Amino acid sequence: MKIFIILVTLFFSLYGAHIDNFAQEVSYERDYQTALKKAKNENKMLMLVLVGDYCPWCKKFERKTLKSSEVGAEIQKNFVPLVLDKYKDKENYPKAFYAPVIPAVYFIDPITQKSLLETVAYMKKAEFLDNADDALTLFEEGNK
Amino acid sequence: MKLVFWLFFSVSSLFSASIYTLDNIKDLNLYIDNQTDFMDKKELKETLIKRLEKAGFVFGETDALILVVKVKSLEIEESMAISIFLGLGEEVVTHRKDKIETFAYTYLETKFIEGYEPNEDTNEALGVLVDNFIAAYKDDNEE
């Protein structure tokens, strides 16, 4: 039993390392409230990326889309990005963003905390950047 | 209307790629494990290589990745239960402690069919697997 608990703990600690490493590598926040405060201060949208440790589509989305330099530059310029595990972090973000499908990305107005645009499933760089542009346009229109 | 387009493109992306990452694959070595008595291994190899070369893959190079095709069959009364496997094998470095190196399948798709005309049915199913592999490869490698 003891060995089982150690193995389970080790498994989850390994996952934590993965999502934390990813967040560190691409400079994403890991705490909803911290990211929200930062987004308000900088008058930027909050970009919430929901992933799961069991989800190969999420890993591919991180690897091929979010880690790419062109997507990274666009995100850092216009958004405050945050990555959370849909299940393991579920107590730490609003239930409204509990996506039925992952990977999911919510572009959130930091003042109203409402999603202006959502994407689900794996997306390539160009498609994702188009969505990010649309979200930005909606945000800017709302700020006028 | 915008939402409809967004949903269409989002959902379509679910079907446009595989969960595997097939970037920068060029050289292949085809290995066929034919455990049937109705398939001609030589003919199958020639057909598959021709198809894959047309898609841009190169055969005959040293240290190429191995595309494995396995076909197994079991006779059931008047038909045949056929299992078809297509996998891309290569040496990888894992995330395990000490970064263990191992042979791994980095692409895998299988089909299990019932064939009344085994040769034709197997060729058709294998054709679908190869087409899916080529589509996933192209999808990952286009800019």
pLDDT bin (cut points 50, 70, 90) of residue B77 is confident
CATH code: domain B23-141 is 3.40.50
C-beta separation of B111 from B84 below 8 A: yes
CB contacts, 8 Å: A56 with chain B: 19
Separation in Å, CA of A119 to nearest CA in chain B = 7
Residue A142's pLDDT is: 84
Domain that holds residue A19: 2-143
Residue B12's pLDDT is: 44
Closest partner residue to A121 (CB to CB) among B13, B23, B140 is B13
CA distances from A63 to A51, A53, A59, B84, B86 (A): 12, 14, 6, 30, 24
Residue B5's pLDDT is: 46
- Domains of chain B by residue range: 23-141
C-alpha span between A42 and A10 (Å, rounded): 38
Percentage of chain B lying above the pLDDT 90 cut = 80
Q: What are phi and psi of A121, to 5 degrees?
A: 80, 170
CB environment B89-124: b (16+ within 10 A), e (fewer)? beeeeeeeeeeeeeeeeebbbebebebeebeebbbe
Q: Residues of B numbered 14-33 whose beta carbons fall under 8 angstroms of chain A's beta carbons: which are they? A: 14, 17, 19-21, 23
The string of pLDDT tens digits covering residues B110-130 is: 999 998 899 999 999 999 999
Here the CATH number for the domain that contains residue A75 is: 3.40.30.10
Residue B138's pLDDT is: 94
**Composition of chain B by helix, strand, coil, percent to 5:** 40, 35, 25
Q: What is the mean pLDDT of residues B59-73?
A: 95
Q: How many domains does chain A have?
A: 1
Length of chain B: 143
Residue A15's pLDDT is: 47
